Amino acid sequence: MPLSSNKFPRVAYEADFCVVGGGMAGLVASIAAARHGARVVLMHDRPVLGGNASSECRIHICGADRHNQIPNMRETGILEEIRLENLHCNLNRNYSVWDMVLYDLAERTVNLTVLLNCSCIDATMDGDHIESISGWQTTSQTRHTVRARIFADCSGDSVLAPLTGAEYRMGREGRDETGETVAPEKADVATMGMTCLFQARDFGTPQTFKPPEWANIYTRDEDLPYGARGHNHGGWWGLGYWWVELGGTYHSIHDTERMRRDLLKITLGVWDHIKNQGDHDAENWGLEWLQFLPGKRESRRYIGDYVLTQQDIEAGGNFTDTIAYGGWSMDDHHPAGFEVVRIGAPPTIYHPAPSPYGIPYRSLYSRNVGNLMFAGRNVSVTHTALSSTRVMGTCISMGQAMGTAATIAVRHSLTPREVGDRVNELQQLLLLDDCYLPWIPLKLSPLTVDARLQASNGADPEPVRDEWNRPIGNDPHAWTARSGDSITYLFDTPSYVAEVKLLLDTAINRDLALSLHYKDHGMIHTPRETPRRFRIDVLKGGEWHKFRVVEGNYQRQVCVGIGEVVEGVRYTLNETHGAETSRVYGFYVR
Ligand SMILES: Cc1cc2nc3c(=O)[nH]c(=O)nc-3n(C[C@H](O)[C@H](O)[C@H](O)COP(=O)(O)OP(=O)(O)OC[C@H]3O[C@@H](n4cnc5c(N)ncnc54)[C@H](O)[C@@H]3O)c2cc1C
């Protein structure tokens, strides 16, 4: 750019797939698509990735395992990889390091271009198809335009809806319309609100707090939701209070800045109450961080070919086109938010939901804009269903599915709707990428299925090539090894093996989430069960050859490229991160 230019620069991109919004859903969708070979541009309006999970908001990622209350139900695939990376390099649970983990993953992803600080503000259409979108990058005062085959809106607020004419809904459906028993009788425009959290820490020495003069003052415990029991212990002081919530009775997009001002008054008032209004045993606690960017729960929801409802969730969502799953309860926040104290209502009601329940592919693309997809809190679900699907583990599960579907669309020149005719292919790609889909079995390559399988320790090795990649019920669907144990595939005739894929033990029965809730919540290091060192050998000319020793592993899903004609392949466990035994959930050759 010449230094003398007085015009704003314009930069154009050609992509297969363009994603707007780099929250967890958009980030994971972009990575999934790029890994499957699509040229992807991700346009994101913040300096850090992760949306509500980033250091700007610090909300912990929950999902179908409900903080491990439902064992073996956490989302694997790309989310598992991110969490394991974080455990490996973020032992102090620092949110800037978490930002780095997400940024590093995007940087390392071939085929992915990330435009940060770039807010999507425009779109051009060709009939009912999006031709291009444009964004304004504040840091460089540059307009970026992306032409692509498929677009995805993962902005949470569905910015592409008003820009493209895609149908959407805002507010709560009426019971008279959907038959949802927890919906209000008649439809209204209320949503769940937004929140500003805080983070405090026990510094070990007395800490004073003087609130700004504009902060609210709460002298009595009853001034706060849940009364005294709601804020009287330090467990939440590292994370803040989700019930500092406003916006449900305002416009949850256009009134955001007004809500931010009011939320900061409340957040600081709550902290002042804890520190200065009565004894809360908080003398040594001091504020470390305040959330100046409100975290949002609900705004525009797109209308897709299918709108998921309360009844679908309660019935377990056993769809033929299940491509993701949820399991959080229907956690329906009162639109009055913090103001519930005035009307005596609970801030949220947890309506029961089964875990898992399936989410259909038809909820992830637009009914009326031909090449528009979505994932995250803006998908095609009712307000009541959203109160469950909105948790980020579920948003990520949808993101990986949607990004993978986009690559099928690009590869075969299909619209997102037409990909629905190949949903089996989509499901199998997701399962092979270590996602879990309830009730959908994995179909393995003939090379894997037809080979003879042996274990050195006499335990049955067959579960490593059964149809499931995690424990289900009482069946672990795994082979268990000690150091030195091995499993071997022998082929009847020498065969070309492109790659060996392993699904290893990362303690699927425990909680790996990054969280500031309670001091010892979640795990803070690589699970002890995970193999640190293992070996892959190949059988050639009747003799075993050492092919690869993998050192310093901390991941669940590991691929080892072979690229040779061999008579057999062997996995040997050498060392774990501390446990005596380690399971193998999958051992596949192709
Ligand atoms: C206080 C609070 C507590 C919550 N608690 C939990 C919890 O404990 N666990 C849990 O899993 N979930 C929780 N949720 C819900 C969860 O955080 C959201 O539902 C989830 O973040 C939605 O994910 P997403 O990727 O769709 O959107 P987001 O996380 O909102 O990400 C969307 C991103 O798109 C960007 N964007 C928006 N517009 C544009 C544009 N025009 N151009 C480019 N980029 C744009 C935004 O900056 C944002 O970063 C909570 C939410 C709140 C507010």
pLDDT tens-digit profile, the chain (590 residues): 666 667 899 999 999 999 999 999 999 999 999 999 999 999 999 999 999 999 999 999 999 999 999 999 999 999 999 999 999 999 889 999 999 999 999 999 999 999 999 999 999 999 999 999 999 999 999 999 999 999 999 999 999 999 999 999 999 999 999 999 999 999 999 999 999 999 999 999 999 999 999 999 999 999 999 887 788 777 889 999 999 999 999 999 999 999 999 999 999 999 999 999 989 999 999 999 999 999 999 999 999 999 999 999 999 999 999 999 999 999 999 999 999 999 989 999 999 999 999 999 999 999 999 999 999 999 999 999 999 999 999 999 999 999 999 999 999 999 999 999 999 999 999 999 999 999 999 999 999 999 999 999 999 999 999 999 999 999 999 999 999 999 999 999 999 999 999 999 999 998 888 888 765 555 679 999 999 999 999 999 999 999 999 999 999 999 999 999 999 999 999 999 999 999 999 999 99
Give residue 296's Cα distance to chain centre: 15
Torsion of CA 166, 169, 170, 176, to 10 degrees: 170
User: In this structure, which residue's CA is closest to atom 37 in ligand 1?
Assistant: 155
**Ligand 1 mean position to 52 CA, how many Å?**
4
**Ligand 1 mean position to 414 CA, how many Å?**
29
- φ, ψ for residue 40 (rounded to 5)? -120, 135
Instruction: Return mean pLDDT, the chain.
Output: 96
Predicted confidence at residue 251, as pLDDT, reads 96
Best substitution site from 79, 158, 392 to test ligand 1's pocket, by max atoms within 8 Å of Cβ?
Answer: 392
Place of tokens 């071997």: 488
Predicted confidence at residue 5, as pLDDT, reads 67
User: In this structure, which residue's CA is closest to atom 22 in ligand 1?
Assistant: 377
Is the separation of the CB atoms in 118 and 140 below 8 Å? no
Is the separation of the CB atoms in 115 and 137 below 8 Å? yes
User: In this structure, which residue's CA is closest to atom 19 in ligand 1?
Assistant: 390
Q: Measured from the CB, is residue 347 less than 6 Å from ligand 1? A: no
Residue type, 284: N
Q: Which of 190, 266, 194, 165 is nearest to 225 (CA)?
A: 266
Q: Measured from the CB, is residue 158 less than 6 Å from ligand 1? A: no
**Ligand 1 mean position to 217 CA, how many Å?**
29
| Continuous segment of H or E residues that includes residue 300 | none
Is the separation of the CB atoms in 432 and 440 below 8 Å? no
Bridge partners, residue 289, by sequence? 199
Residue type, 46: R
Q: Where are the alpha helices (DSSP H) in 69-226?
A: 78-89, 95-108, 160-164, 175-178
Calculate helix-pair angle for 24-35, 392-411, nearest 10 degrees. Answer: 30
**Count of CB atoms within 10 A of residue 11's CB?**
12
Is the separation of the CB atoms in 579 and 458 below 8 Å? no
Predicted confidence at residue 521, as pLDDT, reads 54
Place of tokens 């209308």: 303
- CB-hemisphere CA count at 13 Å for 32? 33
Tell me the torsion sign for CA atoms 476, 477, 479, 482.
negative
Best substitution site from 44, 59, 151 to test ligand 1's pocket, by max atoms within 8 Å of Cβ?
Answer: 59
Q: Which of 572, 584, 523 is nearest to 546 (CA)?
A: 572
Cβ neighbours for 295, distance < 8 A, ≥ 6 positions apart: 52, 57, 59, 194, 195, 196, 197
Residue type, 122: D
User: DSSP assignment, residue 225?
Assistant: T
Q: Measured from the CB, is residue 396 less than 6 Å from ligand 1? A: no
How far, in Å, CA of 150 to CA of 484, rounded?
48
- φ, ψ for residue 337 (rounded to 5)? 55, -130
Cβ neighbours for 360, distance < 8 A, ≥ 6 positions apart: 306, 308, 317, 319, 321, 322, 323
Q: Measured from the CB, is residue 52 less than 6 Å from ligand 1? A: yes
**Ligand 1 mean position to 55 CA, how many Å?**
12
**Ligand 1 mean position to 224 CA, how many Å?**
25
Predicted confidence at residue 522, as pLDDT, reads 58
Residue type, 141: Q
**Count of CB atoms within 10 A of residue 12's CB?**
11
Torsion of CA 66, 72, 77, 78, to 10 degrees: 40
pLDDT tens profile 252-283: 999 999 999 999 999 999 999 999 998 999 99
Is the separation of the CB atoms in 282 and 271 below 8 Å? no
Bridge partners, residue 297, by sequence? none
Q: For residue 197, which atom of ligand 1 is closest to its CA? A: 1
Q: Measured from the CB, is residue 391 less than 6 Å from ligand 1? A: yes
How far, in Å, CA of 253 to CA of 300, rounded?
9
Predicted confidence at residue 538, as pLDDT, reads 98
How far, in Å, CA of 309 to CA of 117, rounded?
35
User: In this structure, which residue's CA is closest to atom 17 in ligand 1?
Assistant: 52
Q: Is 117 strand, coil or helix?
A: coil
How far, in Å, CA of 378 to CA of 386, rounded?
8
- Report strand pairing: 372-374 vs 142-153: parallel
Residue 5, class by beta-carbon neighbours within 10 Å (0-12 exposed, 13-18 middle, 19+ buried)? exposed
Q: Measured from the CB, is residue 58 less than 6 Å from ligand 1? A: no
Q: Measured from the CB, is residue 515 less than 6 Å from ligand 1? A: no
| Residue 364 tokens, joined | 């992830």
Residue 151, class by beta-carbon neighbours within 10 Å (0-12 exposed, 13-18 middle, 19+ buried)? buried
Residue type, 114: V
Predicted confidence at residue 4, as pLDDT, reads 63
Q: Which of 224, 88, 36 is nearest to 514 (CA)?
A: 88
User: DSSP assignment, residue 548?
Assistant: E
How far, in Å, CA of 548 to CA of 571, rounded?
10
